[in-house]
Chains A and B, each alone.
Chain A
């Protein structure tokens, strides 16, 4: 079965610092999704990557998918307290569903 591993499991950074979260798959990904979750709330879609080497940005968040389509990174520039939450990567399998990594808990200290 396919596995998704996220690292680090938790991250504490000072406001204004840059950070990177990684997501590694044991198999080639058909698609890689990044979601953010705040405590007590649902998952908010951030970005989706499908092509090897693809990179997308939204405001201060950039996501990349490597050429082999087995690893993705999420980079936040100049972090803010509003970036705090749990970041989840989700992998699209050949079937019509999406399964998730264990998440990275981000804390941003003002």
Chain B
């Protein structure tokens, strides 16, 4: 079975540019999560969706960040405009509906973003 698929795997962009990260969750999973990982702050939850609806976006750092889930098989995380401090690994993860009532969260391999 295909796991969580993220693209791009690596991106280098200039400050001020728009960055769009993409995620395809595991088929049948109804919960989708976006995490950011940095050396300083570790792994942080940015936002999560249940049935395509954003449930908690309190982890989204600023208005420059936005996330959408137009359907059950696709989500985007957009940064506009990007800044050097946004450089991090961004992970998408999914789990069956019911979230953590005994369900495991499965992670993609991450998108490595460098903003110069």
Contact = CB atoms under 8 A, between A and B. Distances in A.
Interface of A: 30-31, 33, 35, 40-45, 48, 50, 88, 90, 92, 95-103
Interface string B17-43: 000000000000001010000000011
Interface of B: 4, 31, 33, 42-45, 48, 50, 55-56, 91, 93, 99-100, 102, 104-110, 112
A11 B112 CA distance: 26
Interface SS of chain B: helix, strand, loop or mixed?
A: strand
Interface SS of chain A: helix, strand, loop or mixed?
A: strand
Contact of A31 (B4, B33, B102, B109): B102
B99 A97 contact: yes
Nearest to A44: B107
Contacts of B105: 33, 45, 90, 98
